[in-house]
Amino acid sequence: MERLERALVACNRGLLIVLLLVMACIVFSNVVLRYTTGDAIYWAEEVARHLMVWITFLGAGLVLRFGGHVAIDNLHQAVGPRGARWLRAFVLACLGLSFLLMAYHASLYVWATRFQTTAATGVPFAWIYAAMPVGFVLLFLHLLFIARTYVLEGRHAESSEMDAEAAASI
């Protein structure tokens, strides 16, 4: 199970790096062309926007995993250790259920937009909106991997390469 978790995190991070690099290259090239030749790449803004959507949904799970999302933990501290465990279990169950419901409804939305295409590239919107169910499933998987440690100890995943502050900046 630990190998699967490491592989998921590595693939998730690798894909994020590639998408961010592609987006940065497209935007940089478009800016350079606009200021040097006066012409722009007609599809650059659209593709960069769609890459940003994918980066956002793919990165949300990693941010959750390392504790980078906004959290208010005053109540956890006020109810004592046993109450805090119950509260964290409740929060975890609510998050898990929300992620699964959002993945389901996002899948319906993807299906509904399968015949619509983007203006500049002609790519079906379903490919862009597929980021939503994929992202929510990844959020759910990352939540499952940290669930035990989070409920029992109130800690998120730890890594020598990433902490909550670095995760929040993804």
Look up the pTM and report it.
Answer: 0.89
Asked if the model's pLDDT at residue 165 lies above 80, the reply is: no
Q: How many beta carbons lie within 10 A of that of residue 111, not counting itself?
A: 11
Q: Is 163 helix (H, G, I), strand (E, B) or coil?
A: coil
List pLDDT tens digits, range 97-116: 999 999 999 999 999 999 99
Closest among 147, 156, 142, 149 to 8, alpha carbons compared: 142
CA 152 to chain centre: 25
List pLDDT tens digits, range 126-147: 999 999 999 999 999 999 999 9
Q: How many beta carbons lie within 10 A of that of residue 24, not counting itself?
A: 12
Of residues 71 and 29, the one with the higher pLDDT is 29
CA distance 64 to 167: 8
- Whether residue 161 contacts residue 83, with contact meaning beta carbons closer than 8 Å, is answered with no
Predicted pLDDT at 94: 96
